[in-house]
Structure formats: structure tokens, C-alpha cells
Amino acid sequence: MLKAGIDLVFIPKMQDMLADHTFLQKVFHEGERMPATAEHLAGVYAAKEAFFKAISTDPAWLSIEIKKMPNGEPCLSLAPVFAEQVKKASVSISHDNDYAIAQVILETT
């Protein structure tokens, strides 16, 4: 079965969150926090939120990680609890002015 999730993040709001180190550690893996710009983190946050919408569960932020393939394309690294449910995953992240948007498409078992 195919499932999709999408999320939109207001980058200035993420800028405000950069000072909250508890939030950053609760939501982002160390590798996801680099570069530590509001634009980058808004895109990662949107991708994670889109994943949880697609899989229809409450966020468990550190159970997934947004990584980059050698060509720069984003990809998902999933904890075993989610990896068991997902055959294939595709993630797309885009930024424009004050917004970051991400879409996740999953093929589930």
C-alpha cells in the first residue's frame, strides 16, 4: 500500500526555536543539526513530520533520521519498529522564501 505525508514549516518560527537546545536534542539527531540554519532544520523537521503523517502515528522524533545520499538527495533512516513496516521510502524537501516543505511517500508492508 502506498501512503503519503506532507508538511509545511514557517522558517522564521524555526529560527526562534534554534535557541531551545532541549527542543533541538529532542527532535534532531546530531548529524541532522548540521548545518544549524533555520532553513535546513525546517526542511528536516517537515520531512520528519511528513513521515509520521504518512505512517499515521504520533512523532517519535529520534526514531527516524534524515540523511543525505552521496548525490545530495535526502533519504530516511528508520528505527527497526518503522523499518519493519516500510518497504520503500521517498522523501523530497524544498525551500522557498519563508517556507520549507517536505513530502514523504511510503510503500508499506
**Residues annotated catalytic, as ranges:** 53, 95
CA separation for the pair 51, 46 (Å, rounded): 9
Nearest to 76 by CA among 14, 5, 1, 24: 5
Burial class (CB in 10 A: 0-12, 13-18, 19+), 47: buried
